[in-house]
Amino acid sequence: MDPNSDRLARILLINPNSLEATTAMMVAIAKSVAATGFDIVGATATRAPSMIVSAEALEAAAPEVEEIARAHQASSDGIIVAAFGDPGLAGIRAAIRLPAVGIGESSMLEAAEGGRRFGVATTTPLLKAKIDALPDTLGLRSCYTGTRFAEGDPSELMRDPARLRAALAGAVEVCIAQDGAEAVIIGGGPLGEAARELQPMFTVPVIAPIPSAVRRIVRLVTA
């Protein structure tokens, strides 16, 4: 894309979860950090659960994410996959000639800048193996200190923002105190608001994945 063009660059944010309210929240966060000249448009999966909490659901979401990307490719300049396991991202890159990023890979790349050791705090223990595999894919295994999980059922925590924030704060503390993390990612698109609220509470960087992905896709689209 020509960075001097008057047309806004259109970034498609795909929510692999099927909850429209989550898409609206993530788009609002993305717009708040997007560079001038960029517009963020959301698209929501319809065949996935309202919140993906298992490896099986994550894998099942990939085909629909790819379908959404193909359906919108003509009107988009870049794509963000807004679930932490980046479902469908590899397929999008194989099939579509547009810059595409995932919030999982983007946040890990940002967290590991300068060789910084990083951990992940999140709510979904059934996704542990998927999260643990991502640093290997990105060549960041030596920086990764592991993932810690908030205490409580993921769906119940999402219904109580104060409890969610407190539970994630506990997981962040463990990442720092026990694992030696020098930065902690809040691992999940639906956790976007909690991630921003947690950032001022810690002296180490708390990485919010949606802003990480926005910054990365802006760089790729304007390159």
Spell out the SS3 assignment of 24-47. HHHHHHHHHHCCCCEEEEEEECCC
CA separation (Å) from 88 to 69, 118, 125, 140?
9, 25, 21, 21
Q: In angstroms, how far is CA 155 from the centroid of its own chain?
A: 18
Question: Other CB atoms closer than 10 Å to residue 118's CB: what's the count?
Answer: 26
Whether 77 contacts 182, CB under 8 Å: no
In the three-class reduction of DSSP (H, G, I as helix; E, B as strand; rest coil), residue 189 is classed as helix
Is 9-103+211-222's fold the same as 105-209's? yes
Q: What kind of fold does domain 9-103+211-222 have according to CATH?
A: Rossmann fold (3.40.50)
Helix axes 209-222, 103-111, angle to 10 degrees: 90
Q: What is the pTM of this model?
A: 0.94
Nearest 5°: the CA angle 222, 218, 26 is 155
Which CATH number, 3.40.50.10440, 3.40.50.12500, 1.10.1740.10, 3.30.310.50, labels domain 105-209? 3.40.50.12500
Q: Where are the domains of the chain?
A: 9-103+211-222, 105-209
Each residue's pLDDT tens digit, 178-190: 999 999 999 999 9
Ordered per-residue pLDDT tens for the chain, 223 residues: 554 556 899 999 999 999 999 999 999 999 999 989 999 999 999 999 999 999 999 999 999 999 999 999 999 999 999 999 999 999 999 999 999 999 999 999 999 999 999 999 999 999 999 999 999 999 999 999 999 999 999 999 999 999 999 999 999 999 999 999 999 999 999 999 999 999 999 999 999 999 999 999 999 999 8
Question: Other CB atoms closer than 10 Å to residue 159's CB: what's the count?
Answer: 9
